[in-house]
Amino acid sequence: MTVELISVGTEILLGNIVNTNASYLAEKCAGLGMSSYYQISVGDNEERLSEVLRTALSRSDVVILTGGLGPTEDDLTKEVTARVLNRRLVEDENTKSRLEEYFNDRDKKDITENNWKQTFVIEDCLVLDNSNGTAPGIISKTEEGKSVILLPGPPGEMIPMFEEAVIPYLKGLSGNVLYSRMVKICGIGESKAETMIKDLIDSQTNPTIAPYAKNGEVHLRVTALSATEEEGKSLTAPVVAELKKRFGIHIYTTEEKTTIEEALVELLTKYKLTLSTAESCSGGLLAGRIVNVSGASSVFEEGFITYSNNAKMKYLKVSQETLNNFGAVSKETAEEMAKGAAKASGSQAALSVTGIAGPEGGTDKKPVGLVYIGCFLNGRTEVRECHFKGNRQKVREYTVINAIDFLRTMILNTYKEEV
């Protein structure tokens, strides 16, 4: 089954907003086993939108449009789709009631007449209630049995609507069950990861393996098409087992929604370890990722942002001699930062980062992207030298991900008899 994505909105073409909807929907549809060959962005123009929708319907089984369902004059998606499908727009009483209830909770003077435009839907469609906004979603079928799905543009409205209503609908189209498992990997690059499983990809039939590159991570989705969910589990289990065998400790989870920081907090909790952080170039991003995890307060002791040399000496007891001889960006400084954070907070584990995020400050000996990550655990300290590519934000993000993974793998190696 093929799916095509159409993102509607002149603001997308002008670069005023980042089109996160397309990447989200593409990944979700791939996870459902659907093939996608085209993605299109089109402005708020009736003629051009009609053209791309007709083209999409000529070559795809499912067309998903996002945006252009609001109350203003330039919101044309619903109207254009109705004309392309040769259908009328009719008022939906349920949507009207929901809008009335929505407006009852707001100041009446803020309600304009054009808001009621959103109560009209394409005749003979399936209406998707919007629990996070005012514009409902719509699913219409063509005479040939193809599906046209209209979703609101704001991600806060589109994503829950897609997950709650559209995913079950798409699963029902095939008549089979699509069962998938996600294998998340850190510490191995995309090219190497693909090389390690090239034989599996080349010979795959059912289930299939789809790799996705993330910031500092590689995600492998294993998807099986089966008659039942139990059969899907049986089909994917040996593939997941083989991936675990090949990637080993680099796999931090096989759960769809688990993040690498959640995996670390889980390990810290399991082994009754507390954590402190000492950051220079990451400026608090590392501590921020940790405290994003619900329950992190039970393991996270303290975070130090020691951007200057004076701060490193004052709070972490990095020696003046170390800074003079080796510099702030060095293996020796990272080691002393990690030890100092653990000692100052009384934690059993500590992470330190110091580096050159750029775009300025690099030299031939210490180029932009050079980062040292220190990891202290139960009295033992290790330091990694890393070289990251990208802009300042990318370097900082890669630093944080690699620091989290460093401690995660160090814990697993230390407690390997119990894992």
Q: Does residue 383 fall inside a structural domain?
A: yes
- Report pLDDT for 419: 36
Same domain, 216 and 331: no
Same domain, 346 and 241: no
- Which of 298, 215, 260 minimizes the C-alpha distance to 404? 260
As a whole number of angstroms, the distance between CA 411 and CA 419 comes to 10
Same domain, 154 and 266: no
Q: Does residue 7 fall inside a structural domain?
A: yes
- C-alpha angle 68-74-77 in degrees, rounded to nearest 5: 35
**275-279 and 349-355 as β-strands: parallel, antiparallel, unpaired?**
parallel
Q: Does residue 292 fall inside a structural domain?
A: yes
Same domain, 92 and 126: yes
Residue 185: give the domain boundaries. Answer: 177-253
For the record, the structure tokens of 128 come out as 């998707």
Same domain, 164 and 212: no
> At 47, which CATH number?
3.40.980.10
Same domain, 267 and 409: yes
Q: Does residue 419 fall inside a structural domain?
A: no
Predicted TM-score (pTM) of the model is 0.79
Same domain, 25 and 153: yes
Q: Average pLDDT across each block of 10 residues of the chain; the chain has 419 residues. List them in order.
A: 96 94 92 89 97 98 97 94 97 91 68 84 96 95 97 97 95 82 94 95 92 91 90 96 96 95 97 98 97 97 97 98 98 98 98 97 96 98 96 96 98 76
- Report pLDDT for 302: 97
Q: Does residue 297 fall inside a structural domain?
A: yes
Q: Does residue 138 fall inside a structural domain?
A: yes
Q: How many domains are contained in the chain?
A: 3
The domain boundary residue, chosen from 214, 235, 253: 253
Task: Let me know: does 94 contact 25? Beta carbons within 8 Å.
Answer: no
Other C-beta atoms within 10 Å of 415: how many? 15
Task: Let me know: does 95 contact 136? Beta carbons within 8 Å.
Answer: yes
- Report pLDDT for 172: 86
- Report pLDDT for 112: 74
CA distances from 354 to 17, 70, 275, 284, 337 (A): 33, 48, 18, 12, 9
Q: Does residue 160 fall inside a structural domain?
A: yes
Task: Let me know: does 262 contact 290? Beta carbons within 8 Å.
Answer: no
Other C-beta atoms within 10 Å of 197: how many? 19
Other C-beta atoms within 10 Å of 145: how many? 8
Peptide bond into 207 cis (omega under 30): yes
The domain boundary residue, chosen from 253, 284, 313: 253
The domain boundary residue, chosen from 174, 203, 238: 174
What is the rounded (10 degree) CA torsion for 112, 113, 114, 116?
110
As a whole number of angstroms, the distance between CA 341 and CA 277 comes to 6
> At 187, which CATH number?
3.30.70.2860
Cα-Cα end-to-end distance for the chain: 42
Residues in the chain: 419
